[in-house]
Amino acid sequence: QPAAKVASQPAGAAAPQSASQRPVVRLEHARKAFGGNQVLNDISLSVSPGEVVAIIGPSGGGKSTLLRCMTLLERLDGGGLWYGGFSAGEDGELAVARPASGDPRGRAVYGDKGALAQARQRFGLVFQSFNLFPHMSVMRNIMDAPLVVQKRERAEVERQARGLVQKMGLAGCEDKVPCQLSGGQQQRASIARALAMNPQVLYFDEPTSALDPELTGEVLKVLKQLAAEDTTMIVVTHEMAFARDVADRVVFMDGGVIVEEGPAEQVMDAPAHERTREFLSRFS
């Protein structure tokens, strides 16, 4: 279990914290619209080291957009986004976007290229459809970003990649290309590829929804194992059992707002809001 399970911080509460307590990622008053469609409406979310946060909610509620903004695939219109320091002792957070003019709900002003490049090294992202390079072997898929983006030493990267192949249950698949793998194996290779960057936080957007039920289990098992090792994870999921049993905190999103969030048992078994109850009742 994670040492620190801190609830989402109140807006503007930026008390000094030691590196180990500091949120891994912090989003404050995030706003995002597509045309006239307000998809994220004042979302604040702060995730502690070792925490597993499940994001649930109906389709179209803004879950993917939230992850896409946190992973810099989309830009916020307003609010701010910060990533925590890499290691204990490192001061300060990395500001990806800050609200303009001191107003916490102000227009989001993004950092320079260097800051964004640094931020991109701090997270990994696993999508619903396995986003492996189709022409590369499993090993090359895993080793590519550590070699090319992080410019790490080949022997060390290869050692880590072999370890990740074992850990993800992919022994024997090292030299296979994605089309030779099952969907579950491809998704586990995607997870290995994300882990190879040594991210501080892993994001998953419905990692099992493209899989047959029997392959869903093997991917959830890997997520469960990562959670047990205190990997910080934010998982958008339709797997309610996973949210209840594995997540520390559950966030219910609908219509671009966080309707309700809290400890997993509380939100899943005793939701406070009618919209949460109605959503959960679809799964029982």
Residues near Mg ion (CB under 5 A): 63-64
In the complex, the smallest distance separating the C-beta of residue 33 from Mg ion, rounded to whole angstroms, is 17
Measured in residues, the chain has a length of: 284
DSSP β-ladder status, 94-99 and 78-83: antiparallel
For Mg ion, the closer CB: 44 or 64: 64
In the list 48, 65, 71, 190, the residue contacting ligand ADP (rule: CB under 6 A) is: 65
| Residue 37 touches which member of ligand ADP, Mg ion, none, C-beta under 5-8 Å by kind | ligand ADP
Q: Report the C-alpha gap between 193 and 180 in whole angstroms.
A: 17
For ligand ADP, the closer CB: 26 or 63: 63
Candidates 5-13, 14-22, 56-64, 99-107; binding stretch for ligand ADP (CB under 6 A): 56-64
Alpha carbon of 265 to those of 94, 142, 207, 248, 280: distances in Å?
A: 32, 35, 22, 9, 13
In sequence order, the 6+-apart residues with CB closer than 8 A to the CB of 46 are 6, 8, 9, 23, 25, 26, 27
In the numeric block, the tokens 């586990």 are attached to 188
Q: Is 59 in the site for ligand ADP (CB under 6 A)?
A: yes
For Mg ion, the closer CB: 60 or 163: 60
In sequence order, the 6+-apart residues with CB closer than 8 A to the CB of 284 are none
The dihedrals phi and psi of 31, each to the nearest 5 degrees, come to -130, 140
In the complex, the smallest distance separating the C-beta of residue 153 from Mg ion, rounded to whole angstroms, is 37
In the complex, the smallest distance separating the C-beta of residue 60 from ligand ADP, rounded to whole angstroms, is 4
| Residue 34 touches which member of ligand ADP, Mg ion, none, C-beta under 5-8 Å by kind | ligand ADP
In the list 37, 166, 180, 209, the residue contacting ligand ADP (rule: CB under 6 A) is: 37
The binding track of 89-118 with respect to ligand ADP, each residue x by CB under 6 A or -, is ------------------------------
- Computed from CA positions of residues 9, 12, 18, 20, in that sequence, does the dihedral angle turn out positive or negative? positive
In the complex, the smallest distance separating the C-beta of residue 205 from Mg ion, rounded to whole angstroms, is 6
Q: Is 283 in the site for ligand ADP (CB under 6 A)?
A: no
Cβ(30)–Cβ(79) under 8 Å? yes
Q: What residues numbered 14-33 form the site for ligand ADP, per CB under 6 A?
A: none
Q: Is 61 in the site for ligand ADP (CB under 6 A)?
A: yes
Name the nearest CA neighbour of 43 among 11, 74, 75, 7. 11
Q: Which residue is nearest to Mg ion (CB)?
A: 64
In the complex, the smallest distance separating the C-beta of residue 60 from Mg ion, rounded to whole angstroms, is 8
One-letter amino acid at 118 equals Q
| Residue 141 touches which member of ligand ADP, Mg ion, none, C-beta under 5-8 Å by kind | none
For 252, the token pair is: 């219910």
Q: Is 63 in the site for ligand ADP (CB under 6 A)?
A: yes
Q: Report the C-alpha gap between 259 and 280 in whole angstroms.
A: 13
Q: Report the C-alpha gap between 251 and 259 in whole angstroms.
A: 8
Q: Report the C-alpha gap between 97 and 78 in whole angstroms.
A: 9
In the list 64, 141, 186, 190, the residue contacting ligand ADP (rule: CB under 6 A) is: 64
Footprint of ligand ADP (CB under 6 A): 34, 37, 39, 57, 59-65
